[in-house]
Homo-oligomer: A and B are copies of this chain.
Amino acid sequence: MPDVLKQPACTTNFLEWQSWIGMQAEIIAVGSELLTPDRIDTNSLFLTQRLNTLGIAVARKTIVGDQHDHVRDAFRCALDRVELVVSSGGLGPTLDDLTREAVAELLGRKLVLNGGVLQGIEARFRKLGRTMPEVNKRQAMVPEGAGLLENSRGTAPGLWLETAGRFIVLLPGPPHELKAMFTDKVEPRLERLAGATRLFYRELRTAGLTESEVEQRTSPIYTQYAQVQTTILAAPGEIQLHLRNWSSDRAEAERVLNEMVERITFALGENVFTTTGQPLEEIVAHELAVNHATVATAESCTGGLLAERLTRIPGSSAYFLGGVVCYSNDLKTAWADVPPEMIEAKGAVSPEVAQALAQGIRRRIGATLGIGITGIAGPSGGSPEKPVGLVYIALADANGVRDRVLRFPSDRERIRWHASQAALDMLRRYFIYARHGKPSWPAAAQS
């Protein structure tokens, strides 16, 4: 996935809800590699999402290195503030894995070798045909009174500790171990503690509107729902609205969200392509499948990105037969029958060539729809008349062809992404208009 979500979020009404939610948690990520420019703590995104679903808000995140006193102090401060502290990392077998030791010292508990855990680790190594290295013994050291969280994906068990009405959950750092353990072993325990508040959630995504257009059209609506935390996120060619409703009354929470979604969708119209957070290629895949339609692509500046996105979806062979990436003019002619005279007269980057690509590839492959893309992704190759960021996209069906011209003021990677997004959005709108029996295709919004 391209790293396309750009900051800043337009965050609207955090202040209101912070005051009335239930249980609060803090997340501590342990690992010196998380304090380098190479690595970022992403476990906390998963943990936050799962905690939120249980009605638990995350009040702070701390990232510390593999140093005993830093780890201990981070836990001490967090326990002063919140009921629940969840950590990731530092449970491995080596000397710099010291979350166990630091927390045991903080709570004044002894570390005791747990025979059952040791046997489990030894068995795991035996199964791989190896003898357990001596260092792994450390992973069987358990603070007195701790609950064990079985690790189905690795050697280090997680730990559950309670102290003075506070809860501490120690999880391993590798994401696949952490996720499985949290889902299977931690959520059932938290479910019992977390009280009646839960998070109810909607994610709308739009294409063809700018962030400020979305903001202008929706702020009169969402500001009427102070209990719902609304966030607007901008990505190239896509604006997202995240609606979070913390409530102990499921029926009422869902009713409010449904009402908001209905009003916002009315305000934004067909620019909304999902209310459940699906990516655009998934929506397009669904449209193609239910309409028993196929698509063929002829790409120039996007270099295969559109084909790649269309085939990300499992089962894409049902609607995607093939595509060509024709960088050279000769290949535009050879593969999509673009007349050389047209390229000569209009230039390779022109609405005519985009149309010819779409029609040519559609006919060649015998697909329901053809898409042609030609443009200048830069950084070089631009001119005053045809600057970097100029892209023509055409969509052809059996009855004709339409094109869009787009201008993206950005770098190569974003121009290519933007163009693929716009092409997918043309496909999506094609089916909406076909469904509504509209006589002609829409003039899609500029992005």
Contact = CB atoms under 8 A, between A and B. Distances in A.
Contact of A315 (B7, B244, B364, B380): B380
Contacts of A96: 11, 14-15
A303 B295 CA distance: 13
Contact of A65 (B18, B77, B242, B315): B18
A324 B323 contact: yes
A227 interface: no
Contacts of A35: 48, 57-61
A305 interface: yes
Contacts of A303: 307-308, 310-312, 316, 320
Interface stretch (A252-260, A261-269, A327-335, A435-443): A327-335
Most buried by B among A1, A307, A378: A307
Most buried by B among A11, A15, A60: A11
A378 B59 CA distance: 40
Contacts of A147: none
B365 A314 contact: no
A45 interface: yes
A378 B314 contact: yes
A9 B33 contact: yes
A59 B65 CA distance: 7
5 contacts: A7-B173, A9-B31, A11-B66, A60-B62, A324-B325
Contact of A32 (B11, B36, B305, B334): B11
